[in-house]
A and B are shown apart, each in its own frame.
Chain A
Amino acid sequence: MYSEKVMDHFENPRNVGVIEDASGVGTVGNPVCGDVMKIYLKIEDNIIKDVKFKTFGCASAIATSSMATELIKGKSVDEALNITNKAVAEALDGLPPVKMHCSVLAEEAIKAAIEDYKSKLK
């Protein structure tokens, strides 16, 4: 059902954890739906220096969180904002159609965390 990459990121997720003094935190999803993603960003000079996540959800929710954090680490805020759910899914060698919403959640979590960061700047 899942690609080897999905299984790898599910079994050995990258960047799990929290950042205590995060520049921005984004939480999306709902336990009722079975997925909650929380992404923590450490941003310096407009660059994402560090990123951590915590996810409640199925294997693809965990794998997309893990892959999304890898894709944005070291990138500028604008580059991170341009990452689409499709890019996350493609980086994982695809997701089953019924699981594509997990990648949408990952994209939304990144955006929510960056929004939180921007709102704090104001």
Chain B
Amino acid sequence: MNIRYFDNAATTRVDDDVIEYMIPYMKEVYFNPSSLYKPSIMVKKAVNDARERVAKAINANSSEIYFTSGGSESDNLAIKGFAYANRKKGNHLITSCIEHPAVINSMKSLEKEGFEVTYLSVDENGFISLDELERSIKENTILISVMFANNEIGTIEPIKKIGDIAKKYNICFHTDAVQAIGSVNVDVNDMNIDMLSLSGHKFYGPKGVGALFVRKGILINRLNDGGHQEKGKRSGTENVPGIVGLGYAIEKACNSVDENNKKISELRDYYIDRVLSEISDVKVNGDRTNRLPGNANISFKYVEGESILLRLDSKGVCVSTGSACSSLSLEPSYVLLSIGLSHELAHGSIRVSLGKHNTKEEVDYLVDVLKEVIGDLRKMSPLCEEE
């Protein structure tokens, strides 16, 4: 069956030229970049080229880029690494209640170790309040961590304004930009970002590799003990094919952000508009304009997300849901509950995340199939007849 893939926020297909670029680093130039003989020098250079490319993509300096195994590790290293290194300055951290689990759970771990964490609330579109942020800052606040763009509802936070507040109070500002890189233009200097997490497989690069930007002068502790790699901040032999692939992919993605975004956001609006006009009792979650170009999160009343997802799956359509039934917990998405959705609406949410390969024909197919599936499931739903 033809697969129609609408889950680019989960992961993307690696571009063919990225794969081609990576292959030699598994075959001919497989050497350990830490070795001293000549063949290794080429590998070390390739890793540093990738570092340059990542730095250039976010307007940082290459000495400020550390490669990791992905977004989750970058978040852990940034938050815990910074908290441990700066504990003498204070033990209060500020984050939002809709962060990725890598951030939320890092914060929870730190709370168990005596750190104090403020979780900022969000409004009905998923935006934090700058007032609340400023009011939450205390003498002992050392870190603010707010995601660039939300993975579920696509809301893009006011990063530059958060950066300005952090700078005003001389507090370190970390952002999880895993969903943003390649979809939004990011400039760590203009936006006063001190630490930034990113992950290769969200912008048509490989999985299992990510990076953390740490501004010069910001101290972080290493989390795993080992060798001297990544200036001692992230031990372990470098994932060279992954790193060079990430470097190639980020350069390519950031060079075509504007061009891709125009196409992808038009397709997203076309999808949302068709659903709104052709399916009754739906709610668009997140902000209509200030959201990731590819993200469309919609709740379908009276029906449950896992059922929608699996019915779509049997028609070859891949999407995701914030319903509890798709997860191991029995609670629906905390992000959707945080923006004020009822449990019932959160259970009926479907996230479509479009990428550069999606076409209008595919979106038409998606909407047609969705209409059929929603209609079918609603006929079966006891909640429909009550209304």
A residues at B contact (CB < 8 Å):
7, 10-11, 13, 16, 18, 27, 31-38, 54-62, 98-99, 101
B303 touches A56 (CB 8 A): yes
B residues at A contact (CB < 8 Å):
302-307, 310-311, 314, 323-326, 328, 330, 332, 342-344, 347, 379-383, 385
B381 touches A34 (CB 8 A): no
A31 touches B323 (CB 8 A): no
SS class of chain A's interface: helix, strand, loop or mixed?
mixed
A34 touches B382 (CB 8 A): no
- With A32-B343, A34-B325, A34-B343 known as contacts, the answer to whether A62 contacts B332 (CB < 8 A) is no
A58 touches B343 (CB 8 A): no
In the complex, which residues of chain B have a beta carbon less than 8 angstroms from the beta carbon of A35? 304
Distance of A55 Cα from B307 Cα, bound (Å): 11
Distance of A58 Cα from B306 Cα, bound (Å): 5
B306 touches A56 (CB 8 A): no
- With A34-B343, A98-B328 known as contacts, the answer to whether A56 contacts B323 (CB < 8 A) is no
A13, A34, A61 — which one has the most chain B CB atoms within 10 A of its CB? A34
In the complex, which residues of chain B have a beta carbon less than 8 angstroms from the beta carbon of A16? 379-380
B314 touches A56 (CB 8 A): no
What are 5 A-B pairs at a CB distance below 8 A?
Answer: A11-B311, A32-B343, A55-B381, A58-B304, A98-B328
- Cβ 8 A contact of A31, one of B305, B306, B383: B383
Return B293 CB to nearest CB of chain A, in Å. Answer: 30
Which are the 9 A-B pairs with shortest beta-carbon distances?
Answer: A58-B325, A58-B306, A54-B382, A38-B382, A31-B344, A32-B343, A34-B347, A56-B381, A56-B383
Return A38 CB to nearest CB of chain B, in Å. Answer: 4
In the complex, which residues of chain B have a beta carbon less than 8 angstroms from the beta carbon of A10? 307, 310
B343 touches A31 (CB 8 A): yes
- Cβ 8 A contact of B382, one of A11, A27, A98: A27
Return B324 CB to nearest CB of chain A, in Å. Answer: 5
- With A11-B314, A58-B323 known as contacts, the answer to whether A36 contacts B383 (CB < 8 A) is yes
Distance of A99 Cα from B324 Cα, bound (Å): 11
In the complex, which residues of chain B have a beta carbon less than 8 angstroms from the beta carbon of A38? 382
